[in-house]
Amino acid sequence: MEDAVSPTLQSIQIGQPQELAPTVGDTSDKPWRTAFFKQPVAGPIQATGLGLVGDGVEETAVHGGVDKAVCVYSAEHWPYWRERLEEPTLGAAAFGENFSVAGLIEEDVCLGDRWRIGDAEFEVSQPRQPCWKLARRWRTKQLTLWVQQNGYTGWYLRVVTEGTVTAGDAIERSARPLPDWTIARANQVMYELKDDRKATAELAAVGTLSDSWKRQLRKRIV
């Protein structure tokens, strides 16, 4: 994918937690709080160690923090999801991401990759793990399972050097210390190779992997 399209920060989105009312006419539905719904940023925005200025998270135990400062999703997957979910207008922020990127998918991105975008630098820390709110957003119970199965998860970045980014900025890879550990391979170990202790231990030993993923993986091999 990288050879076909120059990696680009296609759009930027931020949002704050909000309470959403239950769906009209659905007696089984309940109010819920989420920062999933994000709005586009037209101009430059500051990337700090804890994320983009103006962005927020609802469940701080599982979202946000240094290791998950910025959520990224590939625009290359939109055509697939438009058809699968029967949502022809699906696009930026459909998966609650901060950065929608073109020219990169999970097979192109490795743990520990360093990216220069604008005057900020980022490091890939882990795949994005789909949670129930993704399924709730699109009212499709199987969606989190589909994402695990097809590997269209997206990924998280930590901010190495704070700075300003703007939609349309080029994504320039400045380092690749772990070329064998693509996001796709990390997903495979997490979801498909749960009984493979060797692969699990190898992934858990990756220094740039997020602490939360390390903890999950180590529990398998204790």
Q: Where are the domains of the chain?
A: 8-177
Residue 57 banded pLDDT, cuts 50, 70, 90 = confident
Q: What is the pLDDT of residue 2?
A: 45
Residue 132 banded pLDDT, cuts 50, 70, 90 = confident
Assigned CATH for 8-177: 2.40.33.20
Mean pLDDT over 83-102 rounds to 98
DSSP code per residue over 150-202: H----EEEEEEE-EEE-TT-BEEEEE-S-TT-BHHHHHHHHHT-TT-HHHHHH
Q: What is the pLDDT of residue 20?
A: 84
Q: 198-209, pLDDT tens digit by residue?
A: 999 999 999 999
Percent of the chain with pLDDT over 90: 82
pTM over 0.85: yes
DSSP state of 110: B
Average pLDDT value for the chain: 93
Residue 1 pLDDT exceeds 50: no
Alpha-carbon distances of 138 from 36, 68, 71, 84, 199, rounded to whole Å: 11, 23, 18, 11, 33
Contact 32, 131 (CB under 8 A): no
